[in-house]
Every structure is written in structure tokens, then in C-alpha cells.
Structure 1
Amino acid sequence: MSEPSFLSDLSDVLVQKEKECLNIESNKSNYYDVLTCPVHFDGWSCWPETPAGQVANQSCPDFIPGFEPTNTVYYKCMEDGTWYFHEPYNRTWVNYTTCVNTDDLSFRTVVIIIHSVGYSISLVALLISLALLIYFKTLRCARILIHMNLFASFALNNFLWLLWYYLMFDETEALFANQAVCKSLHTVLYTCLISNYSWMLCEGLYLHTVLVWAFISQRNLLKGMILIGWGIPLLTTLIYVPVRSIFGEGDDLTMCWIKDTKFEIINQIPVAATIILNLFFLINIVRVVVMKLRKGPAEGQGSGTSRSSLQALRATLLLVPLLGLNFLLTPFRPETGEPWLYYYDLFSAVTTSFQGLCVAILFCFCNGEVQAQIKRKWRTVRSFRPRANSCSATTMSYVKSTYTTNGREKV
């Protein structure tokens, strides 16, 4: 559950750099007897007092991912004693393009493309799955409704991530300028992300309940699943937003909540809990299924170990480790600059963005009931399709009848 890597932990460094720059400005002496540009912090670097008409230079920041610290950045002090002002941007501007590490930039672009493609494909697959389950009303039951809610939570999450990447990489300044919209998007995004895990918990809990307690009201069980699936994310958000708003400090209040803080544990606890609970449910499910299968079909006939339950079990066994894999690997993320970080980011991009596609495949496209409904619908459509030679056959029949009536069928 981490933000884009190039923004993580950036704000702490910037605050420290700004404090150092302000300290330099307060303690400066009139070293130059000519017109100078004052000490200035541009948001990333601190520029010393520089005589008018000269170009200041220093090494590129070493804390910005994608920048090459061995390169040099330049800032011009104009003849009137002011730093260069970029008219189109309507602000003082430093040319940091010389700092860009083109190789790292290309890699980050590839990672973003993988995320965008994966989320887009997953979103399409999830929407198709939802459309199929909504269309085939004969499939409507508690288990299918839980699948539909899971698809909906993943579809929302994928759409919001695509929106987030679009805004963060194409409209960064506009996004940060409107803190209310930015923080709202961040909050809704993480609410939907937690809902993915909570609905996966509902999948495991439902299967566990059906197998262990066969005689239970499906209606009441579904109500409980809806309360858990959407209630956990909403409750987490209702705690997270006020706590971070009230107790957040410094740049945490103005940096669009990009930086991971100690408050992230509020979001991480329900995710970790759902993964642990699901693993417990799955272990117990396997134990119950094995015990009932050992009893034989005669004794376990009404025990719920149906073919569909076994299919759901296999799908859940495959899906739960995948859903929690990124979260479990987060503590083992390599440090910036280590070669393994590239492989980690690629692996994380693929597994994260294609989770929705895996959900759609396992719970819809590979679902025998859905496949049977599609085949039945296809046969129905084909049965109503007129035969290609029906008109010719009717015409020939009419001609033959007329020919017989005139008594000319024999030579």
C-alpha cells in the first residue's frame, strides 16, 4: 500500500533543505559589493547569493529519483538582481532538465505503462464480468452477489488508480493546487483498495460458513457480507481522515497526503487482518473438505462439498495469496539505488495491475455456471437464426407441387 516511489519520503528532505536555506539567508553577510540575487529556495535546492548577470550552478539533487547527482544544474541571476523568471510558468524557474537520468526515466515510464495497461485490461474484464452476472438472472444467489461486489470494488479501484496516475503525471501542479480534491481522491482511492481485501475476506468467510454450517440463512449471510465488505473500508476511512487531519504536521497538511506517515497503520491494520483471517479460513476449509471427502460421497452428500464449492475453493486458494502478495512484500522493498529495486518495481507493477483480471478469470470466465449460461444463450440465438436455404427449399417445393398437379411429373 505505497504511493508512487518517486514521491515517497520526499517531503521530509524538502522541509530540511528549506530550513537550511532559511538559516543561510538569516546569517548571510554582504560578501558582494555589487547588485546580487538573494538567497533563494526553489523547492528543491538552495541557491546562494549571486552577483547580477552571472549564472549559479551546483550539483543536481541526490534525493530525487531519476536525477543524476553527478550532473550540474544552472540558475541565472538577471541583470536587475532577480532570479530568472519564466513567463509561461509565471514564476522563477530553474532548468533541471540537465539532471534527468534518461535511463531511469525510461524505466519509470515503462513501470507506469505497465500499470496503465494492466489496470485498463483488468477494468474491461471486470466490467464484462459484471455485465454477464447482471444479465444472467438465473445465476443470482448469495455467492454470485458476493462475486459481483468483489468485481465492483476492483473496478472502482482500477478506475481510480488510472485517474490518479493521469493526474499525478500529467496534471501534477493542478492537482497539488487543489488540496481538497487531491486529498479526497487519495481517500476514496484507499477506501476502494481496502474494499478489495475486505470483499476477498467475504469470499473466504462465505465459503467457510457454507461448508462448516450448511444450514444457514443465505439472506442473513449476504447482509452480513455486505456489512463487512463495505463497512470495514468506510469505518477505516472515518477513523483515518480525522486522525490525519487533526494530528498531521507540517508538509503532511499540504502535500496531498502523498507521504507515508505513521497514520498509514490505520489503513494497514484491516488489510493485514483480512489476509490473516482469510488464510485461517482457507486452512480450515481445506481441513473440512478433506474430512468430508474421506467419508465418501454417501455420508458427505449433503455436506456442501459440491463441485461448485470445490471450484470456488480452488479459485480462492489461488487468489488470496495473490491479493496479499504485494502487501506482504512491502517490508522487503529494496533501498533506492539497489539493482533489485528494478525487478521489485516490475514485479509489483504486474501483480498489482493485473489482480482485477485474475479475479474476473477465476470467478467469472472460468466459472462453469457462467460458461453453461453463455452456451445455452448461444444455442438459443442460433436456433432463431433463419436457415440460409429456407427460401430456396420453399420455392422448389412449390414448383414440384405445381408440376405434379399438371400431371407432368412423369416422362
Structure 2
Amino acid sequence: MAYNGTISDTEQLSFQEMMIKEIWQNFMICNETILHKPYPSDGYLYCNATFDGYDCWDYARAGTRTYGKCPEFLKHQFGHHLGLPYKDCNIDGTWYRHPDSDRVWTNYSPCSDTEKVRRAENVLFVYFSGYSLSVVCLVISLLIFTCFRQLKCTRVTIHKHLFISYIITALLWISYYATSSFDPKVYVNNPVWCRIIHVLAQYATVCNYAWMFCEGFYLHTILVMTFTREKILLIICYITGWGIPVLPSAIYSGLRSSNPVIDKNCWHKDTYLKYIFSGPIAVSLIVNFIFLINVLRILCSKVRSFNQQESNPFRQSLRATLILIPLLGVQCFAIPLRPDESDEYGQYIYDMISAFLASFQGFLVSLLFCFLNGEVLFLMKNQYVVVRRRMSRTETTGKSFIYSAVQQADANANRKKSIQLANQKIYCKPEFTGTTQPQQLEDQHYVLDQTTDV
């Protein structure tokens, strides 16, 4: 059985300080009590009493498993635990050794099996599933935009760059959490490549919001200004979408790497430096919200002018709003403030909603502006008809070719047989060589070409 000390006044201690203090207290108490106990004299074989670096473990009978208590610093970090740590005593009276390190090992993983950890895993699952679905749909959308020449215009070009920023953001965040969150060694060692992925993911996120701003800027400009050089607008979008985010990323990486206090753990912890990114993002969202209001005002006025019988343009305005909200990213205003740290369930709900909105936004945008877009659907339908006709024509041509080849082979065989019979002075009636049927098929194929050509 493990022996646990207690810690007082832990509210003002950091996690590292709390851990060091508790380990030292446990060692002192263990050295004075458990480690000075004599070996049991009941004749059975036991594993020796030991201190494993975190806590104290009493003598355990061979071939049994003994349970302890989770350290207080782990409870403080992960919340109320659902399991207990344990050590296995082998049948030969030695403590179990981990096969990888060949060192005496205590399993403290049940101490991290807490409601807090499970909630964090649920949030990560939403992120991974949403980002994965978004990447697949966005890649398909990019292929569609690229394949059809009819879709090559400034508006679709901005859409393509927005989709690319979604894909890069998703892949970088998936790579970052997959390599650092699930590997304690990477998390503790804080390698350079891990921090580089973090900075690139932050840069891609700012680029993503910058291209949302470009969408709003372009839409608002072409509606407000009648004569606009779209080439100049596109150059402005290039600079805004890919160039400006470099500045906050460079400032952030320089300041964080130069501060040893926050230059650790793959930069997972949020610091005051997060406002270097959240500031430009907040500004872009506020401006996009203003763009959205003005665009809806202009659309409502145009609806009234083009359709005088429509007294209430609410339906058209609502449809335009639902389409533009995910494109401009203003759905983030639905969850502006994060609950206080004391409200763990409120934070969990906030994190789940944030994860859903952030990860599935790319899927929703590709759905609205590609897969459900009327122009795209029209082009896809026409392409489907063309491909289907070509396949039908190819199948007919293939059948005609095969039939002609068979008939020709039969004719050659009959001709060879006739020559052999002639050489043997045997005469017979000439057989049908099949020269008329292939000609009829060629005529039918010509008519088919004329009726199915697009």
C-alpha cells in the first residue's frame, strides 16, 4: 500500500513547485516509516518496500498487485481521477520492470484517466474529425474549380486561396497535436521542429482569417464601387492573405523563443503573447461583420428595386446571411467569451462549440460555395452527360471493332480452308464471309456519332 503525504497552500504554487514539494514530503515520510519496517516474517515471499520517485510503496506479497493513491499534484493537474496507480510484484519477489526501459515501473496512467482528460480527448476528436472531413471536401472543391475553365474568375480565385488556407491550417494543427499531445517525450523535450510546426499553424490560422477578410473586402468593394479593377483587388488580397500574417508570426516566435519561462512544452500553454495573433483576427472579424451588414443592406435595396411585388425581402436577406456567415467567419461572435476556469463544464461546452465551428467551417464553406452552387452543379451535370455519351459511344465502337475482327478472322480461316480444299481437288459452295454485316454496323455508328456529338 502506498503512503501519501498532504500539501497545504497549493493554490499559489505552480504545477512544478507543487510536484517537487509533494515528492520531497513523501520521501521524507517514507524514509521515516515504510523504509524502516522489517521484512515480513510470515514465511511468504515479498517484494521490498520502495520509493518510486513519486510515492512510497509497502512490502507486497509475490504474485500480487498492490494499489496506491494518485499524487495530489496529478489531481490538481488532471482533476478527480477515475482509477488508482498500481505496482505488480512478480512471483520471484521482484517488482515488475517496464519492457522498454528495463526499470522498475509504477503504472500512474489511471491517475490521468479523469473526466477532465476525457473531455479534452472529446474536443480533440471533434477537431480531428472536422478537419479531416474539411480537408477532403476542400481538395475536391479545388479540383472542381481548377478543372472547369468557366469558373476561372477573380471571385473563384479568392475562393481557391481561402480553401488552400483552410487545408494548410487543418493539416498543420492535426500534425501539431498528433506529434506533441500524444507523445510525452516530445512534449517534455520541446524540440525545435515541434515549435516550428506550432508557429506555422498559427501563421496559417491568421492567413485563414485574412482570406476571410479578403472575401468580405472583395464582395463589399464590387457591390459598392461600380467600376473596379479586379486585378488590383486581387493583388491586395494576395498581400493581405499571405504577406501580412508573416509579421505577427515573426514577432510571436521571436518573443517566445527568447523567454525561457514560456519556451517549453512545445508551446502548448497559452500566454500573453496570444494577443499578437488574436488581435489581428479580432479586427478582421469585426470589419467582416461591418461588411456583412452593409452587403445585406445593399442586397435588400436591390431586391426591392428588382421585385416591386415583394414587400418583405426578409427571406432573401436571411438566405444571403446564412450563406455569407461561414464565408466571412462571423459565426465566431456566437461564442465571444470563454467561461471562468472555475466553471469546468462551461469551459467544456465552450471548447466543444469552438472545435465544431473551427474544424467544420471548411466543410461548410465547400458545401455552400462548391457542391451546392448552382453554376458548379450545372457544369458538373453537363460534364456528366458528356462523359456518359462518350462512354456509350466508345462501348459501341469497341463492340463494332471486336465484331469486325471476329468476322475478318473467320473470313481468313474460310479462305485458308478453301485453298486447302482446292489443293485437294475438292469443290464446295462458297460460305458467307460476313462482309455485309460489318458495313451495316459502320453505317449505324456514323448515325450514332451525328446524333450524340456535343
TM-score of the pair, normalised by structure 2: 0.67
Post-superposition shift, 1:65? 2.8
Contact 1:179-1:256 within 8 A present in 2 as well: yes
Distance 1:136 1:333 in 2: 50
What secondary structure is seen at the aligned counterpart in 1 of 2:77?
coil
Post-superposition shift, 1:329? 3.9
- Does structure 1 residue 332 correspond to structure 2 residue 339? yes
Structure 1 residues 210 and 27 mapped into 2: Cα distance closer, same or farther (>3 Å)? same
Corresponding residue number in structure 1 for 2:152:
140
Query: Which of 218, 222, 237 in structure 2 is aligned with 1:225?
Result: 237
Corresponding residue number in structure 1 for 2:192:
180
Corresponding residue number in structure 2 for 1:349:
355
Contact 1:334-1:344 within 8 A present in 2 as well: no
Alignment: residue pair count: 365
Distance 1:123 1:29 in 2: 54
Contact 1:72-1:99 within 8 A present in 2 as well: yes
Match for 2:124: what amino acid? I
Post-superposition shift, 1:29? 12
Structure 1 residues 333 and 131 mapped into 2: Cα distance closer, same or farther (>3 Å)? farther
Distance 1:91 1:215 in 2: 75
Match for 2:16: what amino acid? V
Corresponding residue number in structure 2 for 1:193:
205
Distance 1:318 1:153 in 2: 14
What secondary structure is seen at the aligned counterpart in 2 of 1:253?
coil
Q: After superposition, what is the alpha-carbon deviation per residue over 1:369-411, rounded to whole angstroms, capped at 9, x for unaligned?
A: 222221222232233333577879x949849x9xxxxxxxxxx
Structure 1 residues 360 and 66 mapped into 2: Cα distance closer, same or farther (>3 Å)? farther
- Does structure 1 residue 167 correspond to structure 2 residue 168? no
Corresponding residue number in structure 2 for 1:381:
387
Query: Which of 328, 334, 347 in structure 2 is aligned with 1:320?
Result: 328
Corresponding residue number in structure 1 for 2:111:
99
Match for 2:101: what amino acid? Y
Match for 1:285: what amino acid? V
Contact 1:34-1:51 within 8 A present in 2 as well: no
Contact 1:57-1:73 within 8 A present in 2 as well: yes
Structure 1 residues 244 and 341 mapped into 2: Cα distance closer, same or farther (>3 Å)? closer
Contact 1:13-1:63 within 8 A present in 2 as well: no
Distance 2:103 2:226 in 1: 68
Show the 5 A alignment for 1:146-295: 146-174=158-186, 176-246=188-258, 248-250=259-261, 252-295=262-305
Structure 1 residues 136 and 192 mapped into 2: Cα distance closer, same or farther (>3 Å)? same
Greater gyration radius: 2
| Higher RCO (CA-CA < 8 Å; seq separation 6+) | 1
Corresponding residue number in structure 2 for 1:65:
78
What secondary structure is seen at the aligned counterpart in 1 of 2:76?
coil
Q: Which runs of 5+ in 1 are unaligned?
A: 1-11, 78-82, 299-308, 402-411
Structure 1 residues 337 and 94 mapped into 2: Cα distance closer, same or farther (>3 Å)? farther
Distance 1:342 1:26 in 2: 36
Post-superposition shift, 1:231? 2.2
Distance 2:136 2:270 in 1: 30
Post-superposition shift, 1:312? 7.4
Distance 1:311 1:142 in 2: 23
TM-score of the pair, normalised by structure 1: 0.73
Name segments (4+ residues, structure 1) moved above 6 Å.
Answer: 25-30, 35-40, 50-56, 309-313, 388-392
Post-superposition shift, 1:127? 0.3
Q: Which runs of 5+ in 2 are unaligned?
A: 1-12, 38-47, 90-94, 309-316, 401-435, 444-454
Post-superposition shift, 1:64? 3.2
Corresponding residue number in structure 2 for 1:15:
16
Structure 1 residues 110 and 262 mapped into 2: Cα distance closer, same or farther (>3 Å)? closer
Post-superposition shift, 1:86? 4.1
Distance 2:325 2:36 in 1: 74
Distance 2:256 2:330 in 1: 30
Distance 1:255 1:279 in 2: 36
Report sequence identity in percent: 30
Post-superposition shift, 1:296? 4.3
Contact 1:195-1:233 within 8 A present in 2 as well: yes
Distance 1:66 1:319 in 2: 38
CA RMSD of aligned residues (A): 4.2
Q: After superposition, what is the alpha-carbon deviation per residue over 1:183-242, rounded to whole angstroms, capped at 9, x for unaligned?
A: 111111111112221111110011011111121111110000111111232121011111
Show the 5 A alignment for 1:107-122: 108-122=120-134
